[in-house]
Structure 1
Amino acid sequence: MTAFQQLIDAMRAGRDWSGMGDPNQARELMAAVYTERYHGAAHHKDRYQLRANLQKKEEAASYAGWITADNPTSGAYQGTSFVWFPGAGGSIAVLVIGTDGFGADSHILGRPGHGRRLRALRALHQGRLWVKPDLLDLNSRVPETLSADWPAAEPALKTYGQVIYAAIPVQTSADANAVEDLLDLFFAEHGTPLTGKARTRWDKRQQDIAGAIFPSFDETHVLSLLKERRFLILEGPPGTGKTRWAIRLAEQIGGVTQVQFHPARTYEDFIVGLFPRPASNGLAFEVRAGDLLHANQAAATAPHVLLIDEINRADLGRVLGEAVMLFEVGEAPRRVRLPQVPDGHPPELELSPNLLVLGTRNTADRSIARMDLAIRRRFAFIPVWPDLEVVAAEGVDFAVRLFSDCIHSFAEYADDETLWLVPGHAYFLDPRPDLDPTDRPARVARRLELELLPLLRDYLDERLCGGATEAIAGLSDRISSTLMGLR
């Protein structure tokens, strides 16, 4: 049995563990886990100290765990730590902040990537792992509605509940994966390399985490959702292939009416309007049906998709007008009376059940106002993120390396709003794959220089990157240096 398996057994036993009351036995077990999983060199091992205060008494706030070595050997400490609290029927494994403050680990806790990885792990563990919404919040506690179902360790939760920021109850062998994730994340964040099978596992786990942060586009799932939900928007950063995916999905449904929105788009263009035309005695006005009416008429007998590219670039409230109330799913059909009635159309507009609306939305376009909430709630939104596999498939080594650097820089340092600016994989692909493949690296390099770098400069010049400004500026410099080295 491995040392880690012994640790899991001790956690599952909680206060019934045979080593309870013997701090040396707990420290020996944790030391064995460290030697087994992590780099054993003294300059790494000496970075940590082992603390254990395990008592069989129910009223005691028992704990054991790793903290950084730059703290005193007893009493309050600073920084983050991995700790387990034994209770009745199991234990609680946590990441916790020392009661003396953030200390030297403030850079870890304040970096968006740390919280983002924890939230990704929460998703991977289907919500069993609890993560505090704001890791730096020292006022709120672990919710009692949640901890009521955990192993009974009330004294520890009462004493340390405000400084716990990630926690998993350890009650069955199935909880071992979550404990491994928290433990490995703690040491990885503190610069300690893993060894052997533990390293192989963590490398794979990091791929899973990246996949949870940037989920891949599942065409089958989205196609099914479009048929079910009817009104759907693909949203994401520039260069992620939203329009290409939208066209491909729409063509699989049936007929397609494609339009592109822009600031000059009007109600008259999209719904119905009066337009002048030459007449023998001057000008006359005719009623013209807009894009929605044409698409709705085409959907009368067969499924039809109205594809709206760049849907957020128009003022949707003005473009849709009273027709916004028609975009409801699962209710009795609604009707609105048209202000003018074009030839061949009824006086009231009712959307055909065969009509599906598929839009695309560029999340990097900050020049457009946020989408009206009344409109937003009528659509389902699917994120479309950058895809490393697409770039890797082309086999241009420096493009794969720079794309990985780009993804990491945004994921690690960008807040949630800035993350939507991350450049998509298209910037790292050959713009003309139909040409001579031997010239592909040169074409990709030109694209990075003429398209990606200006985009990053725009982000920086417009001050869109917030706390990630320095990291994105560094990314831009690394890309420039790499391209100079290729010349």
Structure 2
Amino acid sequence: MPSGYCSAKDYLKIIQELELRFQEDSYPVHSFPELSLSAMLFKDVSSSSSSNTMTLDDDAWDAENVLDKRAFLESYTIENIIADGCFVDQGKLAKMISQLRSKKNIILQGPPGTGKTWLAKRLAYALIGYKDDNLLRAVQFHPNLSYEDFVRGWRPSAEGKLALTDGPFLEMINNAKKDASTQYVVVIEEINRGNPAQIFGEMLTLLEADKRTPSEALELSYRRGDGERVHIPSNLYVIGTMNIADRSLALVDLALARSSQ
């Protein structure tokens, strides 16, 4: 260890933690032989030839390294959700995660004040495998929200002109495409307070799990040049929350409901 020799207790704790991490899909290695190989291939470019100390500085990691910084983040699992104070039993949480993995989208519904948003974010962390707010984007729907706010639209720029600007959903799509090995999650609060068909536009069709491929790509309402087509990558997930006590609101669009069941 960088600070010196570790005790037998520390060693056994590390072994136990690694065995748990090996079971996670998002973890870069899945066995001790793979971990050993990664350690052999690791290049500590920030340290001098006279030092054996390995650091986690940004300069010490390059594209050739098998391990990255995320491998050293503390894992987050269903057990952590329960430890954080969730009253939903482990079996139901596991079913939610399984449903999210297969359908790519789920909607949590219930009365106000029951912790739907709280649970949605922790389900996202469990799906990702660790807490990283850079991989999670939370937005809230409301009656005035539009496609131009959520996906892409014209916005005033610093130069006093209108510029085509990507919304939070398209930003997450692009981030997920650049990092296909990592799970990204968009949490939409009060999803029934907006008009999903108007806000998502053509993205409403692309949300379905069987349409998460480049071959299903569609042109956006606002395109950057001719021929631009967009699809939602399979590593981008959507978790919505819905307040069933608000009877004044219209039901969620059937296309969105189908993609989330």
Report if TM-score (shorter chain) is over 0.5. Answer: yes
Q: State whether residues 103 and 209 of structure 2, in contact with CA within 8 Å, keep that contact through their aligned partners in structure 1.
A: yes
The runs of at least 4 aligned residues of structure 1 exceeding 6 Å deviation read none
- Within 5 Å, which residues of 2 pair with 1:105-116? none
Q: State whether residues 288 and 342 of structure 1, in contact with CA within 8 Å, keep that contact through their aligned partners in structure 2.
A: no
Question: What CA deviation, in whole Å up to 9, does each residue of 1:128-160 have, x standing for no partner?
Answer: xxxxxxxxxxxxxxxxxxxxxxxxxxxxxxxxx
- Is the partner of 1:339 in helix, strand or coil? coil
Amino acid of the structure 1 residue aligned with 2:161: A
Asked if 1:245 is matched to 2:125, the reply is no
Report the Cα offset of residue 292 of structure 1: 1.4
Q: State whether residues 209 and 234 of structure 2, in contact with CA within 8 Å, keep that contact through their aligned partners in structure 1.
A: no
Aligned match for 2:217, one of 335, 345, 370: 335
Residues in 2 aligned to 1:236 and 1:342: alpha-carbon distance in whole angstroms: 40
Residues in 2 aligned to 1:342 and 1:318: alpha-carbon distance in whole angstroms: 20
CA RMSD of aligned residues (A): 2.1
Aligned match for 2:191, one of 311, 319, 326: 311
Residues in 2 aligned to 1:309 and 1:273: alpha-carbon distance in whole angstroms: 21
Question: What CA deviation, in whole Å up to 9, does each residue of 1:2-29 have, x standing for no partner?
Answer: xxxxxxxxxxxxxxxxxxxxxxxxxxxx
Question: Percent identity at matched positions?
Answer: 35
> Structure 2 length normalisation: TM-score?
0.57
Residues in 2 aligned to 1:285 and 1:223: alpha-carbon distance in whole angstroms: 41
Residues in 2 aligned to 1:342 and 1:250: alpha-carbon distance in whole angstroms: 31
Amino acid of the structure 1 residue aligned with 2:106: L
Aligned match for 1:227, one of 101, 115, 137: 101
Amino acid of the structure 2 residue aligned with 1:274: W
Amino acid of the structure 1 residue aligned with 2:206: L
Residues in 1 aligned to 2:211 and 2:101: alpha-carbon distance in whole angstroms: 16
Which position in structure 1 is the counterpart of 2:174?
297
Residues 332 and 275 (structure 1), Cα distance of their counterparts in 2 relative to 1, 3 Å cut: closer
Residues in 2 aligned to 1:364 and 1:339: alpha-carbon distance in whole angstroms: 34
- Is the partner of 1:299 in helix, strand or coil? helix
- Is the partner of 1:378 in helix, strand or coil? helix
Residues in 1 aligned to 2:174 and 2:88: alpha-carbon distance in whole angstroms: 35
Aligned match for 1:236, one of 110, 124, 146: 110
Amino acid of the structure 2 residue aligned with 1:257: R
Report the Cα offset of residue 261 of structure 1: 1.0
Question: What CA deviation, in whole Å up to 9, does each residue of 1:217-255 have, x standing for no partner?
Answer: 521221121112111101111222111110111122232
Gap runs ≥5 in structure 2: 1-86, 129-134
Residues 262 and 332 (structure 1), Cα distance of their counterparts in 2 relative to 1, 3 Å cut: closer
Amino acid of the structure 1 residue aligned with 2:198: R
Which position in structure 1 is the counterpart of 2:259?
378
Asked if 1:277 is matched to 2:157, the reply is yes
Report the Cα offset of residue 362 of structure 1: 0.6
Asked if 1:260 is matched to 2:140, the reply is yes
Question: What CA deviation, in whole Å up to 9, does each residue of 1:71-102 have, x standing for no partner?
Answer: xxxxxxxxxxxxxxxxxxxxxxxxxxxxxxxx
Residues in 2 aligned to 1:350 and 1:245: alpha-carbon distance in whole angstroms: 28
Gap runs ≥5 in structure 1: 1-214, 381-487
Larger RCO (alpha carbons 8 Å, 6+ apart): 2
Amino acid of the structure 2 residue aligned with 1:320: F
Question: What CA deviation, in whole Å up to 9, does each residue of 1:79-128 have, x standing for no partner?
Answer: xxxxxxxxxxxxxxxxxxxxxxxxxxxxxxxxxxxxxxxxxxxxxxxxxx
Amino acid of the structure 1 residue aligned with 2:235: N
Aligned match for 1:351, one of 232, 240, 254: 232
Q: State whether residues 233 and 361 of structure 1, in contact with CA within 8 Å, keep that contact through their aligned partners in structure 2.
A: yes
Q: State whether residues 289 and 342 of structure 1, in contact with CA within 8 Å, keep that contact through their aligned partners in structure 2.
A: no
- Is the partner of 1:377 in helix, strand or coil? helix
Asked if 1:364 is matched to 2:245, the reply is yes
Report the Cα offset of residue 342 of structure 1: 5.5
Residues in 2 aligned to 1:263 and 1:368: alpha-carbon distance in whole angstroms: 10
- Within 5 Å, which residues of 2 pair with 1:16-415? 216=88, 218-254=92-128, 255-279=135-159, 283-300=160-177, 301=179, 302-331=182-211, 333=213, 334-341=216-223, 347-380=228-261
Amino acid of the structure 1 residue aligned with 2:101: K
Question: What CA deviation, in whole Å up to 9, does each residue of 1:385-432 have, x standing for no partner?
Answer: xxxxxxxxxxxxxxxxxxxxxxxxxxxxxxxxxxxxxxxxxxxxxxxx
Report the Cα offset of residue 278 of structure 1: 4.4
- Is the partner of 1:319 in helix, strand or coil? helix
Which position in structure 1 is the counterpart of 2:54?
none
Report the Cα offset of residue 285 of structure 1: 0.7
Report the Cα offset of residue 331 of structure 1: 4.7
- Is the partner of 2:157 in helix, strand or coil? strand
Residues in 2 aligned to 1:253 and 1:276: alpha-carbon distance in whole angstroms: 37
Residues 366 and 253 (structure 1), Cα distance of their counterparts in 2 relative to 1, 3 Å cut: same
Who wins on radius of gyration, i.e. which is larger? 1
Q: State whether residues 110 and 244 of structure 2, in contact with CA within 8 Å, keep that contact through their aligned partners in structure 1.
A: yes
Which position in structure 2 is the counterpart of 1:121?
none
Q: State whether residues 313 and 368 of structure 1, in contact with CA within 8 Å, keep that contact through their aligned partners in structure 2.
A: yes
